[in-house]
Amino acid sequence: MCYLIAKKSESTGCIALQTVHGQHLVDLKKELLQKAGYDDIQLVTISRPSAYGEYEPYHFVDTEEEFEQAVIEIAK
């Protein structure tokens, strides 16, 4: 288990999705970066949110679809 984190440069907080490592995660990150852009959005995979205070506050979503929508929204 891991968390995929999306953060907009120079902003506070992030969006987090609990997921698993593997090719699907790699493909999801590539797809999201193509849709949201490479300039302002940082996608990071972390092991546990409590260890990464620099991304707080976390906004957790339940599905990949919610995550994708939220990432596209913050990229605007």
Contact 49, 2 (CB under 8 A): no
Over the chain (76 residues), the average pLDDT of each successive run of 10 is 93 95 95 85 94 95 96 88
pLDDT of residue 68: 95
Q: Which two tokens stand for residue 11?
A: 């902003």
pLDDT of residue 38: 72
Torsion angle (degrees, nearest 10) of CA 20, 26, 28, 34: 160
The domain spans of the chain are 2-75
